[in-house]
Chains A and B, each alone.
With several copies, the nearest count.
Chain A
Amino acid sequence: MHFRFTQSAIDTDSARRELLTLSAGGYVSFEGWVRDHNEGLEVTRLEYESFQELGVKEGERIIDEALRRFPVKHALCIHRLGSLALSDMAVWVGVSSAHRGEAFDACRFIIDEVKHRVPIWKKEHYRGGDSGWVNCERCAAAPTYAHQHA
């Protein structure tokens, strides 16, 4: 299982250990943190939900594609679901490889694809009490523009 969901804090130390191998000289990781603003609005907290049965399948396909495209050793992605506070880690990607260039490329490929393809939704709660499903509320009003910031 190279793509997983978790309802609790992501254990990056344990995840990183799964990527260790004596033949790897480079390790790149990405963490997505809950930030206090998005598109001009002050964010106070987030909720993530996923269609998990398809999500893990699509996530595994992305990791498999990364391992085929880039000569890396190991790759792993963990996405958190549920209610998250500011600074909480929403997603983690780690890649180990013999050389660093491929590790950067594969890590970036994985997070880009995960954000575009895995059925995960994010509801932002804003200062003042409003909330909204990212990429859904505005695209409902203006569908042709919406996919640009998906």
Chain B
Amino acid sequence: MQLKIQYYALMREQAGRSEEILDTSAATPADLYGELLARYGFTLGREQLKVAVNNEFSDWSRPLAAGDAVVFIPPVAGG
């Protein structure tokens, strides 16, 4: 299935892109992060991230559906 992934901040720089459409068999955001970590060599571990699906915070174990938009959220630093 196809997912839309958006990257921000450090992860955008490490992925070398701000978004992509990905063909994947990842069933959950946790699976998907494992796949992307191997591909891009992100320095942030999953335990340091939050994840959003379709512009809302999500569990790591939520089942993903075709067309979902996924964003991994590094530690924030607003203000």
Chain A residues close to B by CB (< 8 Å): 32, 48-51, 53-54, 57-58, 79, 90-91, 100, 111, 114-123, 133-137, 139-140, 143, 146-147, 150
Contacts and interface: CB of A to CB of B under 8 A. Distances in A.
Contact of A115 (B6, B44, B73, B76): B76
Contacts of B8: 49-51, 119, 121
B36 interface: no
A150 B79 contact: no
Nearest to B52: A54
Given A49-B8, A117-B76, A54 B55 contact: yes
A122 B10 CA distance: 10
Contacts, number: 90
A79 B76 contact: no
6 contacts: A49-B8, A53-B55, A120-B76, A120-B78, A122-B77, A140-B45
B79 A147 contact: no
B67 to A, nearest CB: 16
Contacts of A57: 55-56
Contact of A91 (B6, B10, B76, B78): B78
A121 B75 CA distance: 8
Contact of B75 (A48, A58, A146): A146
A136 B75 contact: yes
Contacts of A140: 10, 43-45, 48
